[in-house]
Structure 1
Amino acid sequence: MGPQQRELRRQLDWLMTFRVVIITTLMICTFVIELMYRPLLSLQPFYLLGVVTYAMTIAYAVLSRTVQAVRPQVYAQLIGDLGVVTGFVYLTGGAESPFSFLYLLTIIIGSILLVRRGGFLVAACSWLMYASMVLLIQRRVLTPYPVGVEENEVATVRILYSLVAHLVSFFAVAYLASYLTENLRRAGRELEMRRDDLAQLRDYNDHIIESINSGLLTTDGEGRITFANRAAAEITGREAPDLVRRSIIEVLGQGPDFLLKARTALGRERRYRVELDYEDTRGRRLYLGFTVSTLRERSGYPLGMIFIFQDLTEIRALEEEVALKKRMAALGEMAAGVAHELRNPLASISGSVQVLKRDLRPQGEAGDLMDIVIKESKRLDQIIRDFLSFAKPGRFHPETADLVEVLRETLSLLENSEEMRPHHRVETRSRPASIRFDFDVNRMKQVFWNLAKNALKAMPSGGTLTVSAVDAGDGQVTVSFADTGIGMTEEDVATNFQPFHGSFASGTGLGLAIVYRIIEEHAGRIKIKSRVDAGTE
């Protein structure tokens, strides 16, 4: 059943309800008249007409639930209603009845349900039934009820006038009612189309707002959030409904002067740009960039503010990484000169002290001082070697090798080195068991050695070093060194790859800088995740 058929059936149910209400009202009025005035005329025919109408309505209701065709039922019920109206008009005086207007009510209902064609058809049936009833009474085929009519000549004139008047009024009402119904339906269809267009436009607008990756917040004049899109909820770590009605100051964790600065800036310019640090509900520290503008109604009156913002955390990290590369490049330029200037005098000093110690064989404090000079000379020489390795690495020689095997060899050397303590434990995991690709074996060993050695240093009281290698596909391999040591602060993590920013007092501060350079040569990336007293990976 289509939507038009469903609507027509709904209207048909309304018609049956309306019929019951009308006939019940007439029955009550008849009973009250009989009870109060006790007319000489018998009212039994009126009760009979009411009972017939009730019976017809019950039959209509049964047919409505069993017969699928709706339009024939509408015609049948309207014709039945005309029969009831004709009977009522007959009982109330025929051509002289003041209730002939009930035909107009049926015609209007027919025009509403069946539009112009149905309205004219009901008007024609109404006039035929009315004219037949009047003529049958006039010809004495039907006995007038109640008794009392004019002489034939006079009755004939009045009858002709009544027939013509009713014919004109029936078709006029049918035309006007059907015309208004058609216009109303046309307006309804246009309104429905506009409503659908508006709904589609609203859905399209909502889809655009929810699809953009930038967060969008709108506030009222007091700074309370009135709308938040999906990206705003994801960036802030809250549910969108939870953001609504909250203060923008509370959500962003800013002071009262934040809105004051924004309003002041918007008083001078159309937009206000600000970047700030933010910690979401999950504890993530983010760097957000905001563009603030005024939210206005059509007339230009300000309603609040619009906050469009993006998560700039990764961009900021990339900027810091670029700045780190520039600093490292600058250090590399001067590394060669510094190394050459230091190594030769240092070698001369160390050699001279060793000769003096061998020849003079000093005792006591003098001997200790010579030992310190020799020891520190060796340490400085190691720093210079590391610095040269960092600033002027040798040629890159990639070859196809098994990364897992190289990793195991390095860890085997580590387990037999002085950095390994009895309370240290090293676990190795790989997926798959063999990972072959192109890399510089010697440099990669240096990377593994430095990372593993730092991990052991971070566990002075013992712990577990877990080393894993995973082939992620598409030529990407992930190697992880995770310890259970002392961890690092966020500041240490941010500066760990910079030269001379080591976390251990005994180191040169160049180990991780060299690691960073080697990984960069392999077109890779290295990241540190660490928490104080929770370990580092």
Structure 2
Amino acid sequence: MVQGETRGPVVSLMTFRVVVITTLLISTFIIELVFRPEVPLRPFYLLGACTYLLTLLYAGLYRFMKEKPTFVALQLCGDLGIVTGLVYATGGSESPLSFLYLIVIITASILLFRRGGFFMAIGAWVLYAFLLEALYFGVLPVYPRGDLTGIDLSEHRVLYLLFSHLFSFLTVAYLTSHMSEMLRKAGENLEARENDLAELRAFNEDIISSINSGLITTTVSGRITFTNRAACEITGHPPSHLAGMRIEELLAEGESFLTEVRQALERANRYRFEREFGARGGETLFLGFTASVLRNKEGVPLGFTFIFQDLTDIRALEEEVGLKKRMAALGEMAAGMAHELRNPLASISGSVQFLRRDLPEGSSQAELMEIILNESRRLDQTIRDFLLFAKPGPFTPEQVDLAALLSDSLKLLQNSEEFHPSHKLRAQFHPERIPVTVDANRMRQVFWNLSKNALKAMPEGGTLTVKALGEIDGQALVSFADEGMGMAESEVTKNFQPFHGSFRQSTGLGLAIVYRIVQEHQGRIRVKSRHGSGTEIQILLPKAQAVPRRAAQGETWTGY
């Protein structure tokens, strides 16, 4: 095929032909105008006109033949004819323009490679030999003299010209086509290597962009030079924003951070550390980093690489497991203490009630006895909560509609003494059934404890928002959100530990019982709270098998 699958070679060939013949015609006109030679130069004008006509014909055929090798060969054959005419017009065997055959042969070797080069070399020699033989036998008159006077056309001279031109034509065709073949193969190899390199680069980019870990590279001074997709997603910053930023600025570290990294990497190949990171959306993430030195193939340090992962969920699970272990130990201890305290407490309460009957109403002794009875009842309630927390009894799961179960609990809450006129309840339920397999009584206890805690957090009143969603990561979700005082981050985990109540007149076991029951149901608890901005507690429960939809597509809400 023609070298380079573009319009360039064929169009360039036609352009070059027009430029050469135009230059020749201009030169002929100047010579004729200035020197007024005795020899007529009209054959040159005739050959120029033929060349222009052929070029117009080629231009018309280009729409159909494009870069086909036969089209190139056709043009070069036409060029051989034009060159033969020029050789004849400039003296035949004595012509100084026979070298133009070599230009056609070189062009053929470049565009059509070895086969095309030798084909044009043989064609050029055949035309040249035909011209010499025609002049030798008198078939064509010698131009411009008309006879052989002063021209050596002996047999030996003709043979010499034929064999010398044949040798030169074939030699040029061989050398040029050989170089052309080498260039073609080199070009193909280079293109193949470029394709392989591009594929390898794309493959590496796909790997880097597909990993879930964030990757950041920096200069020696800490300027960020590269970030992958995961790094942008975790940090919440686009690549354009991260490029050029200092790593200390991104991680909100001091100026000594890079010095700390360098010193650590001098002692080991990797440096692992963990940091809390304030993402762009306002969420606080817990990230685990591995830093290493970025080197070139000679081992010269170019900067640093930071590979990191979002460990927020893992850390939450670790804290959850630790809390579960602590609560299990406390629960066992609480159960034993509850049994030991309950019997003496019952005796004390009964004795105080018996003694109080003999005391006059309104006396200081009667008031003291009433205080003892109230505290005994509170202590008895604490012991009951302990027993519910430590030994909740048999677990009897059944499939229920979570929304219906929650709705019943909220109706009881609205009619309880804990629900004041300053409180408002807003319920949002998914329109279709939310099938879950739970112990209904224990789940009512969860809803009751969370509702009471939310109301206690709003002593001056406020809105309690309760939601029941059907599908969150394959689980059913119930959330209780208040507008109360909120909690600091350090208080969130402690609130699920026994005896860690946040309110007066509280046993400190309400949330501990909630946590225990949710764990029994293989569920999870999420807490979103900020001091002064309220608290939202989410319960995630595994869903039972799906049921047909009873509502239109999309979510709608109903509420109180």
Q: TM-score, normalization: structure 1?
A: 0.91
List per-residue Cα deviations over 1:186-223 (Å, max 9, x = no partner). 22222222222222111111111111111111112221
From 110, 114, 117, the counterpart of 1:116:
114
Aligned counterpart, 1:418:
417
The residue type equivalent to 1:441 in the other structure is A
Moved more, 107-116 or 461-470: 461-470
C-alpha RMSD over aligned residues: 2.7
Match of 1:131 in 2: 129
The one-letter code matched in structure 2 to 1:104 is: L
1:54 Cα shift? 1.7
Question: After superposition, what is the alpha-carbon deviation per residue over 1:101-154, rounded to whole angstroms, capped at 9, x for unaligned?
Answer: 110010111122222222112111111211222333344443333438665666
The structural deviation recorded for 1:517 is 0.5
Match of 1:296 in 2: 295
Q: In the alignment, residue 301 of structure 2 is paired with which amino acid?
A: P
List alignment gaps of at least 5 residues for structure 1: none
CA distance in 1 between partners of 2:9 and 2:234 (Å): 52
* CA distance in 1 between partners of 2:40 and 2:22 (Å): 19
- Distance in structure 2 (CA, Å) of the matches to 1:97 and 1:39: 17
1:47-446 maps to which residues of 2 (within 5 A)?
Answer: 47-67=45-65, 70-147=68-145, 151=150, 155-361=154-360, 365-432=364-431, 434-435=433-434, 437-446=436-445
> Hey, what's the Cα distance between the residues in 2 that align with 1:190 and 1:6?
14
CA deviations on 1:295-324 (whole Å, 9 max, x unpaired) are 111111111111111111111111101110
| Residues 215 and 309, structure 1, Cα contact 8 Å, conserved in 2 | yes
**Residue pair 1:459, 1:484 contacting (<8 A) in 2 also:** yes
> In 1, are the aligned partners of 2:28 and 2:41 still within 8 Å (CA)?
yes
Give how far 1:445 is off.
Answer: 1.5
Bigger mean CA offset, 241-250 vs 35-44? 35-44
Amino acid in the other structure paired with 2:81: G
Q: State the Cα distance separating 1:434 from its structure 2 match.
A: 4.8
Does the 8 Å contact 1:8/1:113 carry over to 2?
A: no
- CA gap of 1:475–1:188, structure 2 versus 1, over 3 A, is closer
Q: Does the C-alpha gap of structure 1 residues 214 and 386 become closer, same or farther in structure 2, counting only changes over 3 Å?
A: same
Measured after TM superposition, the shift of residue 458 of structure 1 is 2.7
Question: 2:42 and 2:534 mapped to 1: Cα distance?
Answer: 99
Distance 1:104 1:42 in 2: 27
Which stretch has the larger CA shift, 470-479 or 111-120?
470-479
Q: Is the 8 A contact 1:5 1:70 kept in 2?
A: no
8 Å contact from structure 1 (residues 93, 146) kept in 2: yes
Aligned AA (1:330): A
Deviations 1:228-253 (A, max 9, x none): 11111111111223322222222222
SS for the counterpart of 1:527 is strand
Offset of residue 30 of structure 1: 3.0
Counterpart Cα distance in 2 of 1:389 and 1:111: 97
Residue 211 to residue 437, structure 1, CA distance change in 2 (3 Å): closer
CA contact (8 A) 1:64 1:70 kept: no
User: After alignment, is 485-494 or 419-428 more displaced?
Assistant: 485-494
Structure 1 contact 9–70 (Cα < 8 Å) conserved: no
- Counterpart secondary structure, 2:275: strand
Structure 2 counterpart of 1:409, which letter?
D
Change (3 A) 1:62 1:534: farther
Residue of 24, 48, 51 corresponding to 2:22: 24
The corresponding residue for 1:506 is: 505
Q: Given the superposition, is the C-alpha separation of residues 56 and 18 from structure 1 closer, same or farther in structure 2, using an over 3 Å criterion?
A: same
* Equivalent pair of 1:437/1:475 in contact (CA under 8 Å): no
Equivalent AA in structure 2 for residue 287 of structure 1: F
Q: In structure 1, what residue type is equivalent to 2:316?
A: A
Q: 8 Å contact 2:359–2:366 — kept in the other structure? A: no
C-alpha distance 359-10 of structure 1, shift in aligned 2 (>3 A): same
More RCO (CA 8 Å, sep 6+): 2
State which drifts further: 523-532 or 134-143.
134-143
Query: Residue 488 of structure 1 contacts residue 536 of structure 1 at CA under 8 Å; is this kept in 2?
Result: no
**Residues 474/258 of structure 1: CA separation in 2 closer, same or farther (3 Å cut):** closer
- Residues 141 and 235 (structure 1), Cα distance of their counterparts in 2 relative to 1, 3 Å cut: same
1:477-516 paired onto structure 2 within 5 Å: 477-516=476-515
Could you tell me whether the CA contact under 8 Å between 2:3 and 2:111 is conserved in 1?
A: no
Q: Is the 8 A contact 1:272 1:291 kept in 2?
A: yes
Q: Match for 2:105: what amino acid?
A: I
Q: Distance in 2 between matches of 1:322 and 1:182?
A: 72
What is the DSSP-based 3-state SS (H/G/I as helix, E as strand, rest coil) of the residue aligned with 2:165? Answer: helix
Partners of 1:153 and 1:145 in 2: how far apart? Answer: 14
Q: In 2 relative to 1, CA 429–9 (structure 1 residues): closer, same or farther, beyond 3 Å?
A: closer
Contact 2:76 2:104 in 1 (8 A): yes
Cα contact 1:274–1:291 (8 A) shared by 2: yes
Question: Structure 1 residues 475 and 207, CA, compared in 2 at 3 Å: closer, same or farther?
Answer: closer
Distance in 2 between residues matched to 1:371 and 1:234, nearest whole Å: 62
The answer to whether the 8 Å contact 1:237/1:280 transfers is yes
Point out where structure 2 has 5 or more consecutive residues left out of the alignment: 538-560
Amino acid at match of 2:170: F
Distance 1:115 1:158, change over 3 A: same
**Offset from partner CA, 1:373-422 (integer Å, 9 cap, x none):** 33223222222221222122222223444544433332222111111122
CA distance in 1, matches of 2:74, 2:397: 94
Give the match's secondary structure for 1:227: strand
The DSSP-based 3-state class of the residue aligned with 2:526 is coil
Q: Distance in 2 between matches of 1:50 and 1:152?
A: 27
AA paired with 2:39? L
